[in-house]
Amino acid sequence: MNVGRGEDLELALSAARAAGDALMRRFGEAHEVTYKGPDQPLTAADIEADEILRARLLGARPDYGWLSEETKDAPDRLRRQRVWIVDPLDGTRSYIAGRPEFAVSIGLVEDGQAVLGVVYNPATGELFWAVRGGGAWCQTPARREAVRLHVTARSTGDQAVLLASRSEIAAGEFDPFHGGWVLRPTGSTAYKLARLAAGAGDVFLSRGPKSEWDVCAGVLLVEEAGGRATDLAGGELRYNRPDPHVKGILATNGRLHGYLLGVVATLPPVQRRTAARQNEEEGG
């Protein structure tokens, strides 16, 4: 099947809206929370959104692979040239708490490289998207026409805005940044990356493990908005790997990236959490 990225983008946007509508029907309710494992909360909304995305995305592109937080991993994805990498509800803890800081995240990977990304926060109505080489864009209820996104131009750390997880702030992981930095607690990894792409912050740092579905779409947004995102050693992020986890992430407006990599190298070690626990805590 020879499908253009424009068609894939329209499909992903439609699927994100449908999953977001389902999430909003349950948002603000009391949720029955089960656990996939220690510190891995799961709600009916996670499952419903995953089913919607899978039906729409794979239903229209059956030859694409599939990697989702809420679907059992299947090794056949490793043989596919194109793979959907999705998180149907990134920021589950925020969702449960009634905070509008969660997102539907849809990435499309081709030969290990992200080529399309959609991040949708249905609580705020912010819809972000990017296609590799075509820029990053956003649409909001207040401004229906698409607006091209650009990262900030800040080139010094003084008063730079660092988007961070509440749980990591509470654990003291950003204590070395107090003083010249402005910490802005925000839920959902995907949403933080989208907000960084939109210029609402200068840096996003998490030294805890992440999964590919947390970062795939958002990292492309940052890159297409003029920023940079790497692992903590400055390495390029690749996707659809046998072990779909990332050992920390640094995303910046690009100008601050080299400086931040140097700062990260000097930070004291943090108590490592499991990837599953860290991913869920991003909602907090």
pLDDT in tens, 58-104: 999 999 999 999 899 999 999 999 999 999 999 988 998 999 999 99
Reply yes or no on whether the pLDDT at 280 is more than 50: no
pLDDT, position 279? 47
With a pLDDT cut of 90, the percent of the chain lying above it is 74
Distances (CA, A) of 40 to 10, 46, 187, 231: 32, 12, 16, 24
Question: How does pLDDT run across 191-236, given as a tens digit for each residue?
Answer: 999 999 999 999 999 998 899 999 999 999 999 999 999 999 999 9
Least confident of 168-172, 187-191, 247-251: 168-172
Segments in 149-252 forming alpha helices (H): 166-170, 189-197, 212-224
| Whole-number Cα distances in Å, 175 to 14, 47, 200, 270 | 41, 36, 21, 12
Residue 41 has pLDDT above 70, yes or no: no
Asked if residues 266 and 56 have their Cβ atoms less than 8 Å apart, the reply is: no
Longest CA span, the chain: 54
pLDDT at 40: 66
DSSP letter at 237 equals: P
Gyration radius of the chain's alpha carbons: 17
Residues 259 and 274: their CA atoms lie apart, in Å, by 28
Distances (CA, A) of 265 to 56, 182, 191, 204, 231: 43, 20, 25, 16, 12
Q: What is the pTM of this model?
A: 0.92
